[in-house]
Chains A and B, each alone.
Chain A
Amino acid sequence: MAVETTSRSASVTEGGVKDAAGGHGRGTAKKSEGTGRLRRALARHWYAWAMVAPVVLVIGVIIGYPLVRGAYLSLTDADEANVARTIGVNHIPATYHFTGLDNYVAILSDSVFWDRLGWTVVWTTGCVSVTFGLGLTLAVMLNRRFAGRSFYRVAMIVPWGIPAFVSVFAWKMLFNEKNGLLNKVLDGGGVDAVPWLGDPVWAKVAVIGVNVWLGVPFMIVAMLGALQGIPGELYEAAEMDGAGPWQRFRNITLPGVRTVSSTVVLLSTIWTFNMFPVIYLLTKGGPEDSTEILVTYAFRLSFVNSPRDFATSAAWGVLILVLLSLFTVVYRRALRRQGEVW
Chain B
Amino acid sequence: MRSEPRKRGERSPLAAFGLHAGLLAATVVALFPPLWLLVTSFKPKSESFSAALVKNFTVDNYSHVVADTYFLTWFANSLVVVVGTTLIGVFIAATTGYAISRFRFPGMRPLIWVLLITQMFPMAVLIVPLYNTLAAMGLLNQPVGLVITYLTVAVPFCAWMMKGFFDTIPVDIDESGRVDGLNPFGTFWRLVLPLARPGLAVTGFYTFVTAWAEVAYATAFMTGEENLTLAGGLQTFVNRYGADWGSMTAAAVIIAVPAAVVFAFAQRHLVAGLTAGATKS
Instruction: State the A residues within 8 Å of B (CB).
Output: 5, 8-9, 11-13, 15-20, 24-27, 41, 45, 47-49, 51-52, 54-56, 58-59, 62-63, 65-67, 69-70, 73, 83-86, 134, 137-138, 141-142, 144-146, 148, 152, 155-167, 169-174, 176, 179-181, 184-185, 213, 216-218, 221-222, 225, 236, 239, 259-260, 263-264, 266-267, 270, 273-274, 276-277, 280-281, 294-295, 298-299, 302-303, 310, 313-314, 316-318, 320-321, 324, 328, 342
Contacts and interface: CB of A to CB of B under 8 A. Distances in A.
Contacts of B245: 173
A173 B47 CA distance: 13
17 contacts: A8-B110, A9-B118, A13-B107, A16-B106, A41-B106, A59-B155, A70-B126, A160-B263, A162-B34, A163-B259, A170-B34, A172-B238, A266-B278, A281-B215, A295-B123, A314-B129, A342-B279
Contact of B132 (A83, A138, A169, A217): A83
Interface stretch (B65-73, B196-204, B269-277): B269-277
Contact of B274 (A146, A165, A170, A267): A267
A159 B26 CA distance: 12
Interface in B124-155: 124-133, 135-136, 138, 148-149, 151-152, 155
Contacts of B93: 55
How large, as a class, is the contact surface on chain B?
A: 35 or more
A291 B265 CA distance: 35
Nearest to B96: A55
A325 B185 CA distance: 37
A166 B260 CA distance: 11
Given A156-B26, A161-B263, A342-B281, 19 more contacts: A8-B114, A12-B114, A17-B106, A20-B107, A27-B103, A55-B159, A152-B23, A152-B26, A161-B267, A162-B34, A163-B212, A164-B213, A181-B51, A213-B29, A218-B271, A221-B271, A314-B125, A321-B121, A324-B120
B80 interface: no
Secondary structure at chain A's binding surface: helix, strand, loop or mixed?
Answer: helix
Contact of B220 (A134, A138, A299): A299
A8 B111 CA distance: 10
A69 B135 CA distance: 14
B208 to A, nearest CB: 11
Q: What 10 A-B pairs come out closest when comparing CB atoms?
A: A16-B107, A19-B106, A317-B125, A163-B213, A161-B263, A179-B49, A66-B129, A15-B110, A54-B92, A51-B99
B207 to A, nearest CB: 13
Contacts of A236: 8
Given A157-B267, A299-B127, A162 B122 contact: no
B34 A62 contact: no
B105 A165 contact: no
Nearest to B24: A152
B133 A69 contact: yes
B255 A163 contact: yes
A277 B235 CA distance: 11
A162 to B, nearest CB: 5
Nearest to A56: B111
B227 to A, nearest CB: 15
A160 B26 CA distance: 14
B164 to A, nearest CB: 13
Contacts of A324: 120, 122
Contact of A15 (B96, B107, B136, B263): B107
Given A161-B260, A161-B263, A66 B126 contact: yes
Nearest to A226: B275
A219 to B, nearest CB: 10
Nearest to A232: B9
A170 to B, nearest CB: 4
B36 A174 contact: yes
A25 B105 CA distance: 6
A63 B152 contact: yes
Contacts of A5: 117
B106 A25 contact: yes
B228 interface: no
Contacts of B33: 159, 167, 170-171, 174, 213
B260 A162 contact: yes
Contacts of B87: none
A203 B135 CA distance: 35
B56 interface: no
Nearest to A185: B51
Interface string B153-170: 001100100000000000
B122 A66 contact: no
A26 to B, nearest CB: 5
